[in-house]
Structure formats: C-alpha cells, structure tokens
C-alpha cells in the first residue's frame, strides 16, 4: 500500500505548457505517473508530447477522469489554480509554487476547510509526494527513491526530503510514500495529517520525520505520536544552531524566544518516544536499527 497516491492515480498538470510545468510534468510521466492532461487557459486543443491541454480544470477532469492535480504556476496564479481544482472536485492537489503571500495561503486554507473539505492540498512550496515505483507528483528525483516499504517519510524541508530518501535507499531500506509538506507558514497538509495516514497504512511499519525550526508543527506531531502512534518514529530537526529571531530558509522557519526552537521540538519529540538523530545520516542509521528490530520481532 501507499498513502495519497499510487499506480492508479491520474494527474493533470496546471501550467504544463510553461517551461517548469513541461519539465516536471514530463519527468513525472517518464517515471510512470499517469499524467493525463495539462491545463493552460487559452491553450486548449494543444498538446505537450502527446498530453492533451485544456482551457479549464473542469474540462480536463470530465474528459480524462483525473483525480489529482499538479500545480506549477507563478505565485500570482497559484491560489486561483488550487481553488479551481477544488471546485472541480479534484481530491489531491500538489502545489510546488513558492513565494505565495502568507495572506493568500491562509485564505486558500480557510476556503478549502470550509467549502472543499474533500480536497487535500500538499504544499505549497514543497517537493511533492512520491510512492516509489508507483507515482511521483512534484519535483523529487525518482531515482533516489526505493520502493517496497517499510518506511514512510514526511518532511518540511525539500532538500532534506531528498537526503532522507537517499540515506534510506543507499542502506537498502525501501519507502512506502514520501511526503514533502513544505515549510511555508500555512501548509495544506500537516505533520499530523501525514502521520495519521501512515498509522493507518498497513505497509508502513515505521516513519521518518524531518522537521526544522519555526512554528509548532513538530510539537503538535509529538502530541499526536504520544497519544496515537503505535509505529516507531525516527526524526531529525534542522536548525539547532540557528540564532533566535532570525528567519532561516523557509518562510515558516522563524524562531521567537523559546517558541519554535530546535531544542524545544527535540525535547517534545523525545518526550513522545521518538528517536531523534543529530544529523540526517545518523537519522538514517537509527532507522536501520528500527527496521532490523521490526524484522527480528516478526521472525
């Protein structure tokens, strides 16, 4: 099994006719993802290497039967694109666009909760979601992922998402699904959302969680893990040496006083029974030990 996407997922790409949309959309298709259509207003009737392009999301869905969308459009158009997908009935929207104003993100999140609760948004400003060997929506390089489980990955940091995949794959540990939720202040999908999905997934036996300074998402995750997770979690929190009050990297990575510090997040996770690595490589090694113990317990 996997979460959110699998080999049956049918994807439309908003912005397929643009340079970035074309590059990543075709890359996803080459990986094996069912990219069935593109959407660019005013360019309906065209195609991109055989992928038909429609003027609207509604047209693409009615004619191609898609159930997921990949949004690769400029910041000024991203909010409307996400809401167009939701209004048309898309169940999963992956938005990689960065530099969307926080106010716009908050408005989109509120409208999704209020008007379109059946639509899940991953992102914005994220690498996307990949179920290795099954489906890849976003900008993650498929060749660094290894299928077959048993580990699920959830990460705020794009770069560290890739490193987590690489660390596990080079150690021969497969992944069920890797979800990059993005580091903006108002993510469409949170750590807790993904942890809930992994907890319910029979194939996922352990979870690697990559966090960073800023916000309280990791502390909320710690609360959920302590109360509900029966599967082992290994974590790494970036930003231990970050100075207080300075924004580091993502828009959401700002520390104020003791709130949002790496130290506070690590303490919360350790208190919830999570094993925390001091760096990404150590986190990978800790997961090797976890997987080995799981195998021993079954034998």
- Give the active site residues: 250
Q: How far is CA 298 from CA 65, 138, 148, 168, 295, in A?
A: 41, 35, 17, 21, 5
In contact, 234 and 294? CB cutoff 8 Å:
no
Six-digit token string for 176:
């069920």
Identify the CA nearest to 151 among candidates 135, 170, 165, 163. 165
What residues contact residue 8 under an 8 Å CB cut-off, 6+ apart?
Answer: 34
What one-character DSSP code corresponds to residue 120? E
3-class secondary-structure state, position 79: helix
Q: What span, in angstroms and rounded, lies between the C-alpha atoms of 255 and 247?
A: 7
In contact, 283 and 167? CB cutoff 8 Å:
yes
Q: What span, in angstroms and rounded, lies between the C-alpha atoms of 231 and 275?
A: 12
What one-character DSSP code corresponds to residue 142? G
What one-character DSSP code corresponds to residue 39? E
In contact, 271 and 226? CB cutoff 8 Å:
yes
| Cα 89 from chain centroid (whole Å) | 20
């Amino acid at each position: 099994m996997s979460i959110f996407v699998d080999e049956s997922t049918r994807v439309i790409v908003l912005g397929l006719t643009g340079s970035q949309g074309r590059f990543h959309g075709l890359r996803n298709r080459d990986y094996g993802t069912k990219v069935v259509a593109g959407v660019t207003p005013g360019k309906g009737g065209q195609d991109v290497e055989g992928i038909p392009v429609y003027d609207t999301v509604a047209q693409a869905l009615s004619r191609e039967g898609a159930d997921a969308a990949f949004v690769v459009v400029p910041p000024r158009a991203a909010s409307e694109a996400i809401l167009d997908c939701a209004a048309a009935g898309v169940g999963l929207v992956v938005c990689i666009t960065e530099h969307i104003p926080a106010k716009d993100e908050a408005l989109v999140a509120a409208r999704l909760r209020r008007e379109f609760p059946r639509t899940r948004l991953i992102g914005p400003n994220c690498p996307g979601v990949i179920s290795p060997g099954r489906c890849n929506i976003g900008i993650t390089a498929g060749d660094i992922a290894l299928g077959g489980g048993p580990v699920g990955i959830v990460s705020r940091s794009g770069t560290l998402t890739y490193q987590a995949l690489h660390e596990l794959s080079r150690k021969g540990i497969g992944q069920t699904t890797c979800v990059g939720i993005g580091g903006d202040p108002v993510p469409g999908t949170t750590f807790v959302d993904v942890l809930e999905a992994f907890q319910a997934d029979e194939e996922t036996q352990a979870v690697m969680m990559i966090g960073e300074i800023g916000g309280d998402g990791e502390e909320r995750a710690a609360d959920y893990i302590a109360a509900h997770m029966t599967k082992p979690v290994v974590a790494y929190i970036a930003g231990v040496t970050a100075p207080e009050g300075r924004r580091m990297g993502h828009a959401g990575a700002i520390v104020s006083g003791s709130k949002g510090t790496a130290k506070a997040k690590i303490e919360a996770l350790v208190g919830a029974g999570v094993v925390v690595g001091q760096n990404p490589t150590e986190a990978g090694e800790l997961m090797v030990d976890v997987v080995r113990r799981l195998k021993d317990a079954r034998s």
